[in-house]
């Protein structure tokens, strides 16, 4: 069964009208109710390459927004399976297109995968969304979902529309969990590195609560986690893990200085408790960037993608 036929059976996706830039309500139910229509994946500019792959500036449509990115295409005719890359937090004021995932972009393209690194709204050449900072990353999740849909409907001859994975790192890992619960079935498999928490309260408490102006704006809009616990529960991907259909492989270091290992353990427990195919691989004493064990992780990525994309 093709991915589209499977989705038609499950009723997971809708295509009838463009999605808004981001849901007006930050809750996952509001995001689920949106229509997603990722489309028009285009090669914009040749950026050079290596003996193994060529590098290109690309863009696609995410609702009313144009999102930019970088694509590493293996040399040859293909078609090549695709991995969408959702990067971690980098200040949009300094971010440049394709920043982050340099090791993974290179490895994927050298090993027969088309690496599609997206910039998100408000990053690099992507269109602007003034609500992004207070939407609890759901605008970014929309961009990830629409990237997957743009791949699925692309007529580019070197793209294998039937084999598609998602790889999210740090903030991008949290965004990946949101995307998986909002639109199950877009991706065939997902991988996260050092992901943020699947409980939005954890992330708010660490990075936003003490950012006075942003915290005030968020609390004014939704209430605090203490005053409005059900609202915050509805913002959290973990609440909706029963919707996930994709196998998930997670990597996390026990000495991660940014994203607590306890978050990853709680995420795995919630996923497996919901009966999902989720595996957490812990690396003792590894920090947020996996400088030591990265070589081992990518071997596991190779095995996981081979199994679930049939490469």
pLDDT value for 26 = 61
Q: Which residues of 158-174 are buried (b: 16+ CB within 10 A; e: fewer)?
A: bbbbebbbbbbbbbbbb
pLDDT value for 133 = 87
The number of angstroms, rounded, from the C-alpha of 231 to the middle of its chain's C-alpha atoms is 23
CA distances 269 to 129, 263, 266, Å, are 34, 10, 5
Q: Using an 8 Å Cβ cutoff, are 108 and 116 in contact? A: no
Cα 298 to Cα 296: distance, rounded to the nearest angstrom: 6
pLDDT value for 83 = 98
pLDDT value for 310 = 87
Q: How many CA atoms lie within 13 A of 223 on its CB side?
A: 13
pLDDT value for 287 = 97
pLDDT value for 25 = 61
Q: For residue 17, count other CB atoms closer than 10 A to its CB.
A: 10
Q: How many CA atoms lie within 13 A of 110 on its CB side?
A: 10
Q: Tens place of pLDDT for every residue, the chain, 311 residues?
A: 344 434 433 344 433 333 434 444 669 999 999 999 999 999 999 999 999 999 999 999 999 999 999 999 999 999 999 999 999 999 999 999 999 999 999 999 999 999 999 999 999 999 999 999 899 999 999 999 999 999 999 999 999 999 999 999 999 999 999 999 999 999 999 999 999 999 999 999 999 998 889 999 999 999 999 999 999 999 999 999 999 999 999 999 999 999 999 999 999 999 999 999 999 999 999 999 999 999 999 999 999 999 999 87
Q: For residue 151, count other CB atoms closer than 10 A to its CB.
A: 25
Phi, psi of 30 (to 5 degrees): -65, -40
Cα 201 to Cα 72: distance, rounded to the nearest angstrom: 36
pLDDT value for 5 = 38
Which domains does the chain possess?
Answer: 3-309 (3.40.50.1820)
Supply the pTM of this predicted model. Answer: 0.92
CA proximity to 300, closest of 251, 261, 254? 251
């Amino acid at each position: 069964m093709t991915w589209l036929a499977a989705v038609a059976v499950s009723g997971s996706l809708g295509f009838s009208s463009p999605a808004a830039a981001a849901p007006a309500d930050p809750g996952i139910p509001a995001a689920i109710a949106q229509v997603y229509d990722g489309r028009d994946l285009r090669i914009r500019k040749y950026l050079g390459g290596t003996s193994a792959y060529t590098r290109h500036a690309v863009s696609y449509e995410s609702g009313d927004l144009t999102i930019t990115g970088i694509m590493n295409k293996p040399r040859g005719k293909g078609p090549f399976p695709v991995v969408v890359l959702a990067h971690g937090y980098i200040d949009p004021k300094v971010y440049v297109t394709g920043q982050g995932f340099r090791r993974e972009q290179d490895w994927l393209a050298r090993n027969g995968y088309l690496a599609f690194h997206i910039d998100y709204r408000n990053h690099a050449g992507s269109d602007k969304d003034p609500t992004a900072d207070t939407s609890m990353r759901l605008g970014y999740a929309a961009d990830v979902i629409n990237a997957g849909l743009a791949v699925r409907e692309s007529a580019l001859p070197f793209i294998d529309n039937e084999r598609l994975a998602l790889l999210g790192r740090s903030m991008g890992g949290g965004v990946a969990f949101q995307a998986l619960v909002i639109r199950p079935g877009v991706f065939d498999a997902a991988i996260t590195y050092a992901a943020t928490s699947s409980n939005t309260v954890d992330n708010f408490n660490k990075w936003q609560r003490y950012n006075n102006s942003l915290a005030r704006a968020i609390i004014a809009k939704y209430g605090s986690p203490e005053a409005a616990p059900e609202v915050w529960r509805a913002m959290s991907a973990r609440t909706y893990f029963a919707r996930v259909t994709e196998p998930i492989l997670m990597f996390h270091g026990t000495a991660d200085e940014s994203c607590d290992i306890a978050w990853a353990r709680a995420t795995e427990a919630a996923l497996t408790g919901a009966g999902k195919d989720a595996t957490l691989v812990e690396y003792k004493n590894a920090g947020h960037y996996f400088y030591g064990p990265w070589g081992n992780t990518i071997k596991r990525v190779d095995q996981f993608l081979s199994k679930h994309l049939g490469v």
